[in-house]
Amino acid sequence: MLAKDCEKKIILTGDRPTGKLHLGHYVGSLMRRVELQNSGKFDEINILVADDQALTDNWDNPKKIRDNIIEVALDYLSVGIDPDKSFICIQSAIPALHALTFYYMNMVTTQRLSRNPTVKSEMALRGFNGSSTENDNEAGLPAGFFTYPVSQTADITAFKATNVPVGEDQLPMLEQAKEIVRKFNNTYNCDVLVEPDIMLPENATQRRLPGLDGKAKMSKSLGNCIYLSDDPKTVKNKIMSMYTDPTHINISDPGHVDGNMVFTYLDAFLKDDSQFAEYLPEYKNLDEMKEHYLKGGLGDVKCKKFLLKIMEETLEPIRAERAKWVQDIGSVFDILKAGTDHAVKVTNETLNECRAAMRINYFDDKPSIVADWEAWEKESHQAQ
């Protein structure tokens, strides 16, 4: 069944509780989630704190995951996720996701999994070399990490999600999910599972925001982030020391804007030209500012100060909202519990449908199991 054929429009998205959420999450996914939530166009929005997935490369440090569950929930609430409109749930407390992962493991080959480009680059990042560890210095590849795209398929399909708003690194995961959906539905001749559509940010820079060092994507695991919960002084320090253009030594030197993080972040965070009128009136828009930098005569400090103003327009309201929620962590916990209870209910329904399609729903199917057995018994007697 294709997403467009479904009656309900359902969103599933989530994050690994491996640390506080950062600006990459904000532009890649959180901002969009809030827009979609408030658009009123979706029947259901589920946001999953993917703690099981986080354990696949943090199995030796479950405390880190435990500690970050509330942090991630606080980040959601701070950016405008509204518990009256969206459910927030915890992956490990939803048993149907584990069962579905187990069935989907048979719908994919190890060869197919090893071609996933995001998993490949994440393996390299974590030093999971994929071979067994004769050399103690080289980490082998945990089966749980290798197969996490399968568990992610379980997350998406268990909610019958039609739309998944995520960053660009998730494209291969969505492709994998679609393949598993097709294989499952074909194998068991059913239309239980729904093919999800990815929703990427329209702005190319927002799809994969690079880190402050300009080297890779901003990522909790790389420590190159501005966190949504950073205080103003920290944000200022991070922006003032961010990577710009090493060839732009004197203000009068011509500079580069491509690969220069100040301009990359301006591309991602500027809302409209009125922000120039307010904070940097000598330019009408970003094109004019870039032109000046390229030509020479515009200093990095001035650009960074402008970026700081723009950044704070985004971060200040988030901080203010967070300050309210931290007064009442008990309520944050209750929101997680309510979202998880809802998730258990809807995912159990999908699991039951899958088991029925596979005809392994034994205890719901006593009459036909008894009848099948009796028919088979009769046939074998006749054959004797």
User: Least distance from C-beta 211 to ligand ATP, angstroms?
Assistant: 7
What burial letters (b/e) apply to 176-186, b meaning 16+ CB within 10 Å? Answer: bbbebbeebbe
User: Least distance from C-beta 21 to ligand ATP, angstroms?
Assistant: 8
Which value, to the nearest 10 degrees, does the dihedral of the CA atoms of residues 55, 142, 174, 333 take? Answer: -10
Q: Does 18 participate in binding ligand ATP (rule CB under 6 A)?
A: yes
Our CB check for ligand ATP shows the closer of 96 and 268 to be 268
Separation CA 32–CA 27 (nearest Å): 8
Q: Are 217 and 253 in contact (CB under 8 A)?
A: no
Binding footprint of ligand ATP, residue count (CB under 6 A) = 20
- Cα separations (Å) of 193 from 199, 232, 290, 308? 19, 46, 48, 45
Residues 26 to 45 in contact with ligand ATP, rule: CB under 6 A: 27-29
What burial letters (b/e) apply to 198-232, b meaning 16+ CB within 10 Å? Answer: bbbbeeebbbbbbbbebeebbbbeeebbbbbbbee
Our CB check for ligand ATP shows the closer of 25 and 290 to be 25
Task: Output the residue with the shortest Cβ distance to ligand ATP.
Answer: 28
Our CB check for ligand ATP shows the closer of 101 and 170 to be 170
Q: Does 149 participate in binding ligand ATP (rule CB under 6 A)?
A: no
Q: Does 217 participate in binding ligand ATP (rule CB under 6 A)?
A: yes
| Interaction pattern, residues 218-257, with ligand ATP; x per rule: CB under 6 A | xxxx------------------------------------
Between the two ends of the chain, the Cα-to-Cα distance in Å is: 45
- Cα separations (Å) of 84 from 46, 91, 165, 206, 331? 12, 20, 19, 27, 13
Tokens of 45: 């929005």
Q: Does 166 participate in binding ligand ATP (rule CB under 6 A)?
A: yes
Which residue in the set 9, 120, 208, 305 belongs to the binding site for ligand ATP (CB under 6 A)? 208
Which residue in the set 10, 11, 12, 24 belongs to the binding site for ligand ATP (CB under 6 A)? 24
Our CB check for ligand ATP shows the closer of 122 and 195 to be 122
Binding site for ligand ATP (CB under 6 A): 15-16, 18, 24-25, 27-29, 166-167, 169-170, 207-209, 217-221
